[in-house]
Amino acid sequence: MYDVHSKCADDFISHEEILDTLAYADENKENIELIDSIIEKARKRKGLSHREASVLLACPVKEKNEEIYRLAEQIKKDFYGNRIVMFAPLYLSNYCINGCTYCPYHAKNKRIPRKQLSQEEIRREVIALQDMGHKRLALEAGEDPVRNTMDYYLKSIETIYSIKHKNGAIRRVNINIAATTADNYRLLKEAGIGTYILFQETYHKESYLELHPTGPKHDYNYHTEAMDRAMEGGIDDVGLGVLFGLDKYRYEFAGLLMHAEHLEAAFGVGPHTISVPRLKHADDINPDDFDNGIDDDTFAKIVACIRIAVPYTGMIISTRENQKTRERVLHLGVSQISGGSRTSVGGYYEPEPEDEKSEQFDVSDNRTLDEVVRWLMEMDYIPSFCTACYREGRTGDRFMSLCKSGQIQNCCHPNALMTLKEYLMDYASPETKTIGDRLIEREVLNVPNERARSVVLENLRLIEQDNRRDFRF
Ligand code: SAM
């Protein structure tokens, strides 16, 4: 029985409710009157239910889809302005005892070199990341309770936060590791993580069990209920995602929104982010072996529908996608992207030798961070290295109320400009710096509050002339 408040995965991601939703969406996908009323509701920026959003996703009517895209772009502008938050993944270990059939880290893969970074290696990687200009990391690891212990993660987080190389610092560490206990989530929270990220992979339980035939991850309910335990452990910024390509995208979309609705209903705060990874080629994994790949148009439609369904939730896209796809979905709702990424265990400090490749998937955007930053600015986006909310305690519902208060433009916009200025001073190529300084000059005028604007101008001066760093609202 579908129950949004239940703590049991089978109830809050009810298979029957998803099937009913898909049938309802099919029946109504050309019901213009209903579609118009859903779009009208979405214009109020209060979000949509999984049923309503599923109707829009299924709708094939060209003019209505154009309206959906326009609205997604507008909501994106209203909530996130032209800021794009930058991050990089850091793979700590690819030891894994799971049998995930789509992931090259699966335990039976004897070909891929297995690595776990030591604290010294983490130090070297982090210095290399700081020297690129990164301030925000997403830690990644396979599941191996003997090697990748909670103690190892806690130590690694401590190491990462402790490294201050030149003007560099990692100011926010997010983490994407296997589902664990509420007590462990509490330890991660105490260690100062930002977001706990865990992809559901697929919400279709039967497929899930087949795609995860062995290992702890086989336990669908334990995995699906992880965010509840994370919230019980005190983590109020959690990141959802499905791996598109594993099961039917409309099923996944409904499941994803039901998961968001459940967190909102049970804890009063929805997901901080949603990631939209697509299955990629990797070591012994061929995406063509999976039947449910989605094309670029469908992918763009999913992003647009997520944007209008959950306006307050950030959306993340990784270097699984190429420049062209990233460009398209940035307009439609994506608010965070990675740049200069390596998906290998190690590889920032020095490239892995050809015969020792440990990548999790092929990267489709191989540009450097400087190139990505310049490309964003050439499209009038502001690459933001801001980490202020989490450091000011604005997580969970406190972050949501900042969004809802309309103060974002007086807070996030200045923070984006000041952290971009730091990047330009410390890491940018001369060409990127010239473009960036011009952008900042223009954009500072868009800080609405006069007093905030003059503080930003003064801080920008201090960053440039006095080598001061880390200002934030
Ligand atoms: N081990 C962690 C867990 O149990 O959830 C997750 C960390 S894993 C390093 C990060 C994510 O990479 C996975 O959740 C999965 O969605 C994604 N991934 C795995 N294989 C992939 C592939 N072939 N292409 C694209 N993404 C993949």
pLDDT at 399: 81
Of the three residues 76, 107, 128, the one that is the final residue of a domain is 76
CA dihedral 90, 96, 100, 104 (to 10 degrees): 60
Domain boundary among 76, 97, 116: 76
Calpha distance 91→338 (Å, rounded):
14
217 lines ligand 1 (CB under 6 A): yes
For ligand 1, is residue 277 a contact (CB within 6 Å)? yes
Instruction: Kindly write down the DSSP assignment for every residue of 253-314, as one continuous string.
Output: HHHHHHHHHHHHHHHS---SEEE--B---BTTB-GGGSS----HHHHHHHHHHHHHHSTTSE
103 CA → ligand 1 middle, Å: 6
Torsion (CA) 437, 443, 449, 454 in degrees, nearest 10:
20
Q: Tell me which of 41, 76, 111 is where a domain ends.
A: 76
DSSP-based three-state secondary structure for 415: helix
pLDDT recorded at residue 88: 98
Ligand 1 proximity of 320 Cβ (cutoff 6 Å):
yes
Tell me if 418 is assigned to some domain. Answer: yes
Query: Do 205 and 326 belong together in one domain?
Result: yes
- Residues 175, 112: one domain? yes
Question: What pLDDT is recorded for position 173?
Answer: 98
| pLDDT, block means (10 residues), the chain with 473 residues | 97 98 98 98 96 98 98 94 97 98 97 97 98 98 98 98 97 98 98 98 98 98 98 97 98 98 97 97 96 97 98 96 96 97 95 89 95 98 95 86 76 96 98 98 94 96 97 93
In this structure, the residue with its CA closest to atom 1 of ligand 1 is 142
Q: Ligand 1: distance of its center to the CA of 140 in Å?
A: 9
CA of 314 to the centre of ligand 1 (A): 19
**178 and 318 part of one domain:** yes
Same domain, 62 and 121: no
CA–CA dist 85, 336 (Å, integer): 5
The CATH number of the domain holding residue 287 is: 3.20.20.70
354-360: which pairs have CB atoms within 8 A and are 24 or more residues apart?
Answer: 356/113, 357/112, 357/113, 357/283, 358/91, 358/94, 358/112, 358/113, 358/114, 358/115, 359/104, 359/282, 359/283, 360/91, 360/94, 360/103, 360/104, 360/105, 360/140, 360/282
* Same domain, residue pair 161 and 35: no
H helix count then E strand count, the chain: 20, 9
Same domain, 103 and 235: yes
Is 361 found in the same domain as 445? no
- The verdict on residue 386 lying in a domain is no
64 and 188 both lie in a single domain = no
Tokens of 405: 């208060």
Cβ of 312 less than 6 Å from ligand 1: no
| Residues 155 and 183 both lie in one domain | yes
Q: Which domain holds residue 444?
A: 397-465
Give the total number of structural domains in the chain: 3
Same domain, 65 and 139: no
Q: How far is the centre of ligand 1, averaged over its atoms, from the C-alpha of 417 (Å)?
A: 33
Model pTM score: 0.97
